[in-house]
Amino acid sequence: MPTYNLYMGCSVPANYPNYEAAMLRVAKAFDMELEYMEDVACCGSPNLRAFDYFGWLVVNARTIAIGEKNGNDIVTPCNGCFGSLKDVLYHLKHDDEMRKEVNDELKEEGLELKGTIKVRHFVEALYTDIGIDAIRAKVTNPLDGAEIAIHYGCHLLRPEDVTEFNPEVLKELIRVTGAKVTEYPLWKQCCGATVLPVNEPLAIRLARDKLNSIKTAGAEFITVVCPACGNQLDLQQLGMKESYGEEYDLPVLLYPQILGLAMGMSEDEVGLNMNRVPAQGILEHLVE
Amino acid sequence: MAETDEKASPPVTLVDPIDMSKLDPSFRDDVKSMPNGEELTACFACSTCTAACPIANQWDFKPHQLIRMILLGMREEVLSSREIWECLTCFECQERCPQNVRVTDIFFDCKNLAAEEGYEVPENVLVLGKELVDKGQLYVVTADWEREDLDLEPEVPGLSVEEVEKILKKTRTGRLVGGE
């Protein structure tokens, strides 16, 4: 069965252990061997790229080079990490001079980025390597057609030539659980997470635009595959209620939570009680 | 109204006049030579990037204007603008550019240039840099009981932050925020 280098980054383990646990349980059910990478740290996020391009390259090239030692693809549940690692790999594959400079920095540790492995988002690896049919075979408690809106997150989708992610992947992964995919106009739009440190009202406006678009389209739930997007769409709903009296009542679930529940896992196993907007409502949509 | 001999008022302009003496022709070459900046000069000012940007309506300088300002050599205005730092990095502009100008990547280049040349970097961005150089990560696990409840290791397996701290102390992050 496929073995992967699991790169967690810092945000999922610290803020979304429910995402981590649900992902590990789902992976285990399909014999995907996710092995935590050793001796790696944070990707630095797009913020690091903004003020220290070279540092961002070296930090992420280092992670990729560590992965290359055993030759297994790197898998991550976080769009921020995915974006950083994919972007760095793309930049260094297209810039021989810079790759040499970065590798000079890594030499001290005996590392070298060669570009021999892929960086992948967990949902893409699940879709491609396990396949929809094998997933369907394990769905024992399908959803009853509940309306779920997908928020992909920018760094999963764009730049397309870098991320190589096909949006249909998540749609199929949602449909196989028995849920319906709610189409909504702003499906591609940013959640606002990146601008939070610089302009909070702007970040809130973006989350609000998104939630309004989703609510109006008739969704009952939202699914995300990124902790930063999770913060913006889930946690911020509590803040909006408190600060502006706005109530969207849209529970936000990490994708493996939904699949896990449809595969018969308990709400504790997928950490449902840690979702900020109470998400227990989804249990009523499971067909026994 | 018929044309009369009323005195013409100054023309209404949408932007402030450009001070030609401040233009820096080397700016475009600087940006062009930075990562993914090569296509900069292919811009034909169609403003598709601005139409794609979800926050351009809140900006004084729209994305297509920023690109034009780079081409004109308005170094100071671009590198001191709040717009480059507010860019969501959502890549909607870049995805739609019919000339394949890597607009978002170019704004990343501008931020790096601004940081290198001593223009103001927003304080909270520097705070993140400080976190990275001091702790090697942006988020630290505080509620390890939450992890244990889910049968996860209390500490993140494999996490090691020293090398990242060491790397970033030597690069621009270290120069901007210092190390401990």
What CATH number is attached to the domain comprising B31? 1.10.1060.10
Instruction: Please list every residue in chain B whose beta carbon sits closer than 8 Å to the beta carbon of residue A74.
Output: none
pLDDT of residue A34: 98
ipTM of the complex, rounded to two decimals: 0.96
pLDDT of B2 above 60: no
Residues in A 220-239 with any Cβ partner in B closer than 8 A: none
Domain ranges of chain A: 3-121, 140-285
What is the distance between the alpha carbons of residues A62 and A55, in angstroms, rounded to a whole number?
A: 11
Q: Give the CATH number of domain A140-285.
A: 3.40.50.11810
pLDDT of residue B13: 64
Note whether B27 and B84 are within 8 A (CB). Answer: no
Residue A41 banded pLDDT, cuts 50, 70, 90: confident
Pick B88's closest partner by Cβ from A54, A91, A195.
A195
Point out which residues pair with A286 in neighbouring strands. A143
| Same-domain status, B99 and B131 | no
Provide φ and ψ at A75, rounded to 5°.
-120, 135
Q: Do A36 and B121 touch (CB under 8 A)?
A: no
Domain that holds residue B127: 123-177
pLDDT in tens, A186-222: 999 999 999 999 999 999 999 999 999 999 999 999 9
Instruction: Please list every residue in chain A whose beta carbon sits closer than 8 Å to the beta carbon of residue B147.
Output: 13, 17, 20
Residue where a domain terminates, one of B88, B116, B144: B116
Q: In sequence order, which ranges of chain B are alpha helices (DSSP H)?
A: 26-32, 48-52, 63-72, 75-79, 83-86, 92-96, 103-116, 123-135, 144-149, 162-170, 172-177
pLDDT in tens, B23-61: 999 999 999 999 999 999 999 999 999 999 999 999 999
| Same-domain status, B107 and B143 | no
Q: Which CA distances in Å does A200 have to A116, A205, A252, B115?
A: 40, 9, 21, 22
Instruction: Please list every residue in chain A whose beta carbon sits closer than 8 Å to the beta carbon of residue B49.
Output: none
Q: Do A189 and B124 touch (CB under 8 A)?
A: no
What is the distance between the alpha carbons of residues A166 and A124, in angstroms, rounded to a whole number?
A: 9
Q: What is the mean pLDDT of residues B2-19?
A: 70
Pick A52's closest partner by Cβ from B35, B124, B171.
B171
Instruction: State how many domains chain B has.
Output: 2
Q: Where are the beta strands (DSSP E) in chain A?
A: 3-6, 33-36, 74-76, 119-121, 147-150, 180-182, 221-224, 252-254
pTM for the model stands at 0.95
Q: How many CB pairs under 8 A join A and B?
A: 189
The CATH architecture one would assign to domain A3-121 is Up-down Bundle (1.20)
Q: Do B122 and A197 touch (CB under 8 A)?
A: yes
Decide if B30 is inside a domain.
yes
Decide if B156 is inside a domain.
yes
Which residue of chain A comes nearest to B53, CA vs CA? A189
| Same-domain status, B53 and B107 | yes
Decide if B48 is inside a domain.
yes
pLDDT of residue A183: 98
| Same-domain status, B90 and B172 | no
Distance from CA of B66 to the nearest CA of A (A): 17
